[in-house]
Amino acid sequence: MRFTSGMVIAVALLAGHIQSASAATPAAQAVPVALAVNAATWRQEIRAQLMPRRYTTIAAEIGAKINSLPLPEGGAFKAGQLLISFDCSIQRAQLEKAQAELTAAEQTFKANEQLAKLNSVGQLELDLSVSAVSKAKAEVNGNNALLSKCDIAAPFGGRIAEQKVREQQYVQPGQSLLDILDDSVLELEFLVPSRWLGWLKEGGSFKVVIDETRKAYPAKFIRIGARVDAVSQSVKVAAAIDGRFPELISGMSGRVQISAH
């Protein structure tokens, strides 16, 4: 067990009292100090940081110039809302070309199909025209897939944590564009002594004092780790702020206050 300064003083006073009583009355039985300490309720303070429930980095899937960034850094958005729009004039032109080639391939196939009925064209030419149609359709589908990457919508509601690019900037496939997070629920992750597993349960309540606001906020356990670290004899737990407090944002830190049982 880890003793706080108040507990050490209490132990010292109790030990002094026992020693004095023993000297005055040798026949008296000493009270076990450990039992007196364990009977008291003590508070354990642990450092933790506020984290968003979900967060991710939006990256470019195509090489193109950024046409618009509708929201500023720190701006809030809803799920499905437009976050980035690219200039895809080249991709649209390629789609129009592929569609024209598909139309031509389909007309060639129809003509060969009619000629085949009249035994005026060979089976090889008919098969080649069928393959040409399939190839042209694949080109159209591929260009449609590229065009679908020209607008990036929010995968979930939240806020923009960081803008890594600017409007009119040309980006490459895989380049990071935005860091976004869902701050509808702020979570805490920290380690607690593994011996607490005897009483610690999901849904249990405690308080966390945030350094930046100097206020205490209610929180509750939402997940308990599946493995105990044998070296530190600790287990990772996750908790969430119980309620909505606009002044709290991701990255703030504070002291977790838990009454051990």
Domain boundaries, the chain: 1-40, 55-180
Alpha carbon distances (Å) from 10 to 5, 6, 20, 242: 9, 6, 15, 34
Alpha carbon distances (Å) from 54 to 60, 90, 159, 203: 20, 35, 11, 20
Please state at what angle helix 89-117 crosses helix 123-147, rounded to 10 degrees: 160
Residue count (the chain): 261
Q: What is the pLDDT of residues 143-167, one digit of tens each?
A: 999 999 999 999 999 999 999 999 9
Average pLDDT estimate for 139-146: 95
Q: Are 175 and 216 in contact (CB under 8 A)?
A: no
Whole-number Å distance between alpha carbons of 34 and 10: 11
Whole-number Å distance between alpha carbons of 250 and 149: 29
Whole-number Å distance between alpha carbons of 221 and 31: 37
pTM reported for the whole predicted model: 0.70
Nearest 10 degrees: Cα torsion 146, 148, 150, 156? -140
**Any idea which fold 55-180 has?**
OB fold (Dihydrolipoamide Acetyltransferase, E2P) (2.40.50)
pLDDT above 90: percentage of residues in the chain:
74
Alpha carbon distances (Å) from 34 to 30, 104, 226: 12, 91, 31
Phi, psi of 120 (to 5 degrees): -100, 0
Q: pLDDT band for 111, please (50, 70, 90 cuts).
A: very high
- When mean pLDDT is compared across 116-130, 147-161, 178-192, the lowest value belongs to 116-130
Q: What's the N-to-C CA distance of the chain in angstroms?
A: 12
Give the 3-state secondary structure of residue 137. Answer: helix
Q: Are 220 and 239 in contact (CB under 8 A)?
A: yes
Q: What is the pLDDT of residues 220-244, one digit of tens each?
A: 999 999 999 999 999 999 999 999 9
